[in-house]
Amino acid sequence: MISQNILIVDDDTVFRASLKVFLENQNYKVCEAGSVKEAIKHDLMTFNAIVSDGKTNTGIIKLARGIPVIVTSSRASLRSAVEVMKRGAADYLPKPYNLDELKKILEALITRPRTDRVQMLGECGSIRSLSDQLDKVAPTDTNVLIEGESGTGKELVARKIHQLSNRTDRQMISLNCAAIPDSLIESELFGHKKGAFSGATADRVGLVEAADGTTLFLDEVGELPLSAQARLLRVLQEGEVRGVGSIATQKVSVRLVSSTHRNLQALVNEGGFRDDLYYRLNVVKLSLPPLRERGGDIAILAEHFLATNAERHGKPRLKFSDAASKCIHCYSWPGNIRELENAVQRAVILCDGKTIGADLLAIEPAQKRKFPSYDTDKQNVSLKDYFVSFVLENQDQMTETELSQKLGISRKALWQKRQKLGIPREKSRSR
C-alpha cells in the first residue's frame, strides 16, 4: 500500500498528537502544524488531505487549492457547518468525533481522483464547442490561456488538457499565483540558491524546473508581479530557467497552461501585465461561460453532484424536492460550479431524510436569474415541469433551434427529451 500524506493543523497539541498516532496506525504519513503560519512551511501540494480545526480552517481552505480539507470544531452548529462548507471545506466533523468516521471520510476523499472531482458535463453549445477545442488543442504543446469567472471550472479544463496531452505520464504541476506573497513567488516558480536571500538556507528547485517534461498550470496568472513576469517570459522564449541567486541556467521543456478571472488585455493596457508575455500565453484562448448562462446544464450538474455525494456519504437514494429543484433553477449561482457543488454537498451531509429541501441548500433567494418567458414564481415546479411548460408555451413562436438555445441544450437533446416526455410538434414548425 502506498503511504498517503495527511497534514493536521490544530493548536491543541494533545489532540494533534493523539490523532497523529491514530492516522499513522492506519498507514498514513502524517505532518503536524499548530497554525496556518506553521502549515505553510510545508509544501501543501504534497498532501492528499488536510485535517484543520475551526480556528485555522479559513486560511487553510484558501491556501490548499484542490486539496480536500476536513474541518473539525468543538463549537459545532448547523450554522458553522454551513459556513465552512460554503468556504470550500470537503467535510465537517464536530468535536469530539468518532475516529472511524474520520477514517471513512479520508478514505473516500483520497481514493477519489482529483481530476474527476467535477466532470465535464453539459449539453449547452458553449460546452460542446469547448470540448471540440480541447480535442484539437490538448495533444499539442501549445500554450493555452483559460478565461472565466471564479468557480467556472478553469482548473478542471487545465487538467483535461493535461490528460489528453502527450505529457500525461507525469503529474501536472500547479500553482495558484494569488496564494503566494509577491516576495516568495519568484523563489516558488524558479527556485533559489542557498544564501540568495534571508531565509534561503538550502538550494531549492522551482516549480518550472519540476515541470520539465510535463504541464505547468498557473492559476490566476494575472496576479504575477512584473518581476516574475519577466522571468517567466524568458522561460517561454528561451526554454531555460535560472533560479534566484544563481548564474547557471537549466534547459526545460514545459507546456504552460494558465488561467485568469481577470481581463488580461485590460491589465496590459493599464501597465499591470506585460504585453509580450500576454501574447506568449494567449496562443489559444478558451473562454468558460458562467453557470447562469448554461441553461439546462445546471440541472445536469446538480443531479451529478447529488449522486456522487450521496454515494460518498452512504445516502444513495436522495432526491431534490420540487421546491429545491426550483430554487436551483432560479438562483443565479454567482460562485458558479464551485458554489453549486458545495451547496449540494452541504445539503447531502445535513440531510436526515430521503429528500433534500430548499432550506438545506442555504441559497440567498435574492440572487435570482431570469428565464426566457416561463413564470418561475409558480409554486412547486419541478425541472421536468419547467421543461414541459416552457416548450409548450413557446414552441408556436420559436423554431427548434431557438428553443434549444434558450434552454441551453442541443437540438438533439431537445428531440430526445420530447420523445421521452411525449411532447409532439408539428413538422412545419420543427425547422
pLDDT at 325: 92
Q: Is the pLDDT of residue 104 over 60?
A: yes
283 and 419 share a domain? no
- CATH number of the domain bearing residue 313: 1.10.8.60
257 belongs to a structural domain: yes
Give the best-scoring range by mean pLDDT among 3-7, 95-99, 237-241, 382-386.
Answer: 237-241
Task: Report residue 7's pLDDT band, with 50, 70 and 90 as the boundaries.
Answer: very high
148 and 279 share a domain? yes
120 belongs to a structural domain: no
Q: Are 283 and 397 in contact (CB under 8 A)?
A: no
273 and 132 share a domain? yes
Gap between the Cα atoms of 210 and 371, Å rounded = 48
264 belongs to a structural domain: yes
152 and 79 share a domain? no
Least confident of 77-86, 319-328, 385-394: 77-86
Q: Calculate mean pLDDT across residues 94-103.
A: 82
Which among 287, 316, 342 is the end of a domain? 287
What is the tens place of the pLDDT at every residue in 261-271? Answer: 999 999 999 99
Helix (H, G, I), strand (E, B) or coil at 145: strand
Cis upstream peptide for 96 (omega within 30°)? yes
**DSSP bridge partners of 91:** 70
- CATH number of the domain bearing residue 164: 3.40.50.300
**pTM for the whole thing?**
0.59
87 and 148 share a domain? no
Gap between the Cα atoms of 160 and 116, Å rounded = 10
pLDDT at 110: 74
What is the tens place of the pLDDT at every residue in 272-302? Answer: 999 999 999 999 999 999 999 998 899 989 9
How far separated are the first and last CA of the chain, in Å rounded?
A: 59
Question: What is the number of residues in the chain?
Answer: 431
Query: Phi, psi at residue 191, to the nearest 5°?
Result: 80, 175
pLDDT at 181: 83
Give the best-scoring range by mean pLDDT among 32-36, 106-110, 360-364.
Answer: 32-36
Strand order from edge to edge, sheet including 49-53: 28-33, 4-9, 49-53, 69-73, 91-94
Residues of the chain above pLDDT 70, percent: 81
pLDDT at 395: 78
pLDDT at 112: 54
DSSP codes of every residue in 70-131: EEEESS--HHHHHHHHHTT-SEEEESS--HHHHHHHHHHHHHS-GGGSS-----SHHHHHHH
Gap between the Cα atoms of 311 and 348, Å rounded = 10
Task: Report residue 377's pLDDT band, with 50, 70 and 90 as the boundaries.
Answer: very low
User: Cα-Cα-Cα-Cα dihedral of 84, 89, 94, 96, to 10°?
Assistant: -140
175 and 260 share a domain? yes
Number of other CB atoms surrounding residue 46 within 10 Å: 11
306 belongs to a structural domain: yes
Task: Report residue 86's pLDDT band, with 50, 70 and 90 as the boundaries.
Answer: low
Please tell me the total count of domains within the chain.
3
pLDDT at 376: 41
User: Cα-Cα-Cα-Cα dihedral of 302, 305, 310, 312, to 10°?
Assistant: 180
Higher pLDDT, 111 or 334: 334
pLDDT at 215: 93
Average pLDDT over all residues of the chain: 81
278 and 333 share a domain? no
pLDDT at 114: 46
Q: Calculate mean pLDDT across residues 320-345.
A: 91
pLDDT at 65: 57
119 belongs to a structural domain: no
Q: Which domain holds residue 276?
A: 125-287
Q: Is the pLDDT of residue 199 over 80?
A: no
Higher pLDDT, 406 or 182: 182
133 and 263 share a domain? yes
240 belongs to a structural domain: yes
Query: Phi, psi at residue 275, to the nearest 5°?
Result: -70, -35
50 and 154 share a domain? no
350 and 368 share a domain? yes
Gap between the Cα atoms of 376 and 385, Å rounded = 11
- CATH number of the domain bearing residue 58: 3.40.50.2300
Which among 51, 85, 112 is the end of a domain? 112
186 and 280 share a domain? yes
118 belongs to a structural domain: no
Q: Calculate mean pLDDT across residues 187-192.
A: 82
Gap between the Cα atoms of 71 and 91, Å rounded = 6
pLDDT at 186: 86
Q: Calculate mean pLDDT across residues 231-236.
A: 91
Q: Are 189 and 228 in contact (CB under 8 A)?
A: yes
Least confident of 51-65, 128-142, 233-247: 51-65
417 belongs to a structural domain: yes
Q: Are 171 and 182 in contact (CB under 8 A)?
A: no
205 and 262 share a domain? yes
Q: Calculate mean pLDDT across residues 363-386.
A: 51
SS3 content of the chain, % helix, strand, coil (to 5): 45, 15, 40
Place of cell 435570482: 368
